[in-house]
Amino acid sequence: MNLLLFERHELQGSRLTLQAGDRRALHVREILGLDAGDTVRVGMVNGPMGRGRVLASGRTGLELEVSLTGPPVSGPGPILILALPRPIMLQRILKQATVLGAGQIHLIRSSRVQKSFFQTHALQPAAVRKLLVQGLEQAVATRLPEVHIHTRFKPFVEDVLPGVASACRLLAHPGAESTLADLHETVRTGDRPVLAIGPEGGWIDYEVEQFTGRGFRKFSMGSRILHVDTAVVALLAQLQVLRQLPGDG
């Protein structure tokens, strides 16, 4: 935990009080070893960051005097469209995509996604939020990604995608001729990237046609087929690098 996050309603004036059994209080006391007078980095979910001065820390709980003077919440990050993976992999992806700055995550049904995946407890709002918060704590960020679940492919591409305004639409697909590096000018448009990643077997032809017909450009990660959680981390990291490259001339 690199950032102690709290909800707006938890702050009473400038005081933040956590129960002794709260994992954040336990981390401050047992992992960080902080005591009265010490400070810890804090942040409000979807709000600013700052410092919290420990007023009391012990078996009765943790009390902090909070000063929010840090930078405001950063702008929205990339939009990730993901064919829903297996539950255990989904949990890793939600956390790591948050660490890497994803602003929206659309979990969709594709032909190669098992319908039963949508029944997992990992998609319950409380379970999803817990993973997103853990990602923010790791990354030292406060903007909570939006997570949307779509159980049918066609309504998603026909009704949701038209509302996603971006010239940077990217479709990861095995066997595509272009690489992400080949599309670096598209990535550097300044528009918020929209990245679609399918299951490990790839999208079926119909799905590819639906995406490309709506402005998505296909690219491949090379000859090796990666697990979806690895592909998500690798591609979000590559997008960050490409968007930071200076322009020609």
The pLDDT value recorded for residue 186 is 85
Q: Which CATH fold topology does 79-244 show?
A: Alpha/beta knot (3.40.1280)
Q: What is the dihedral of CA 42, 45, 49, 50, to 10 degrees?
A: -40
Domain ranges of the chain: 4-67, 79-244
| Interval 218-237 mean pLDDT | 91
The better pLDDT of the pair 134, 201 is held by: 134
Q: Which CATH fold topology does 4-67 show?
A: Ribosomal Protein L25; Chain P (2.40.240)
Q: How far apart are CA 236 and CA 121, in angstroms?
A: 26
The better pLDDT of the pair 174, 206 is held by: 206
Q: Find out whether 64 and 53 touch, Cβ atoms under 8 Å.
A: yes
Phi, psi of 184 (to 5 degrees): -65, -30
The pLDDT value recorded for residue 249 is 44
Lowest-confidence pick of 78-92, 140-154, 168-182: 168-182
Residue pLDDT, tens place only, 4-52: 999 999 999 999 999 999 999 999 999 999 999 999 999 999 999 999 9
Q: How far apart are CA 58 and CA 30, in angstroms?
A: 10
Residues 6+ apart with CB under 8 A from 7: 44, 45
Q: What's the token pair of residue 160?
A: 């949701």
Residues in the chain: 249
Angle in degrees, CA 30, 34, 39, rounded to 5? 140
Run of H or E including 80: strand 79-83
Per-residue pLDDT band for 74 (boundaries 50, 70, 90) equals confident
- On the CB side of 101, CA atoms within 13 Å amount to 17
Residue pLDDT, tens place only, 139-170: 999 999 999 999 999 999 999 999 988 889 99
The pLDDT value recorded for residue 248 is 55
Per-residue pLDDT band for 129 (boundaries 50, 70, 90) equals very high
